[in-house]
Amino acid sequence: MLALQILIDGFAISALYALGATGFTLIFGVSGVLNLSHGAIMVAAAVAAWAAASVLHLDTYTGALVGVGVALVVAFATYFAVVKPIQNSRRIPNEEKEIFVLTGTLLWGIMIQELIAYFFTNNAKTVLPIIEGVVTIFGVRTPRNEIFTAIVCCLVIGLLWLLVNRTRTGKAVLAASMNPRGVTLLGLELTQIYIVVWAIYGILAGIAGVLLGMFLGVSSYSVGPLTASAFSIVVLGGLGSVSGSLIAAFVVGYLETLTAYLISPAYRTIPALLLLVFVMYIRPQGLLGRR
């Protein structure tokens, strides 16, 4: 009974983590950018969906679409206003661009967080779920919304897999992550590939944010923890490896759920952090990372 409950709850939260981390790792794999405004973009999507439904009184589907749209816009703004100027800057030495991108996106994330807090307060907001009600699976009462979240996450990740492996655009993205210079020699515009990747990232982060808002609720305080959890999942799985992040997301998700149910919700994040430190010691490149 408890085991089944952990299995179901753990699956939903893990799938959500996986979706959030996939976009993050994709961006890193293709353009080498660690986007520390990730959490802010997810929260922006959730708050936009909440505002569309509660302030503008739109229906939940439109609200969710508004949320994803906002995430897309913010992701593009992040790329064009922060990441691209740093990458193209001649005053920043190449070997220091990484830390400048980290600092720049971190500041950008704080700006988004503060704007959300200013216009929509710090209070936690729960987006109205698209599907309501509760079902009982083998004696475990499960909200339909939880099942919906898990299904949408799996579907979106599946679609992403198809997009990357089966379409021409996706193959270009894959090629850019393997060898950017090779791609440009084949006559593809690297900037266009980056724009495609940021668009995919924005949509993924948006869906993850809106689902998170329906499932657990968000506030402007969740920005930091969300970025940190995506960052640690991605590093645990190996930076740039999408399949690695998927595995890591499920490991972290189940570990947290197990701790919360069996020990105490107060210790929820500790075992995952310990595991992360342990993995970094014995395998610094992460589970499936390349050196």
Partner 1 sequence: MANFFTSRLFFISAACVVIAATLPLYVSGYVLGLLTVAFYFGVFAMAWDLLFGFAGEVNFGPTFLIGTGAYTAGILNNQFGWSVYLCILLGALASVVAGFVLALPALRVRGPYFGLTTLVAVLMLQNFIVVFADLTGGEIGLTIPDVITINAGANYWIALGFMTTSAAILYGLSQSPVGLVLQASGQDPVQAGALGFNIVKHKLAAFIVSAFFSGLSGALLVFYFGTASVGTVVDVAVGVNVIVSAVLGGRRTVLGAALGAIFLIVAGEFLRPTGELATFIVSAVALLVVLFFPGGFLGAALSREARS
Contact residues toward partner 1 (CB under 8 A) are: 34, 82, 85-86, 89, 91-92, 95, 98-100, 102-104, 106-108, 110-111, 114-115, 117-118, 224, 228, 231-232, 235, 239, 266-267, 269-270, 273, 276-277, 280-281, 284-285
Of residues 115 and 137, the one with the C-beta less far from partner 1: 115
User: Closest approach of Cβ 150 to partner 1, in Å?
Assistant: 27
Which residues contact residue 115 at a Cβ distance below 8 angstroms, ignoring those fewer than 6 apart? Answer: none
Of residues 117 and 258, the one with the C-beta less far from partner 1: 117
Of residues 95 and 138, the one with the C-beta less far from partner 1: 95
Of residues 138 and 281, the one with the C-beta less far from partner 1: 281
- Is residue 153 within 8 A of residue 145, CB to CB? The reply is no
Of residues 94 and 136, the one with the C-beta less far from partner 1: 94
User: Closest approach of Cβ 263 to partner 1, in Å?
Assistant: 11
User: Closest approach of Cβ 10 to partner 1, in Å?
Assistant: 21
User: Closest approach of Cβ 189 to partner 1, in Å?
Assistant: 24
Of residues 78 and 142, the one with the C-beta less far from partner 1: 78
Q: Could you tell me the CA-to-CA distances from 175 to 155, 167, 178 in Å, in that order?
A: 24, 12, 5
User: Closest approach of Cβ 276 to partner 1, in Å?
Assistant: 6
User: Closest approach of Cβ 180 to partner 1, in Å?
Assistant: 18
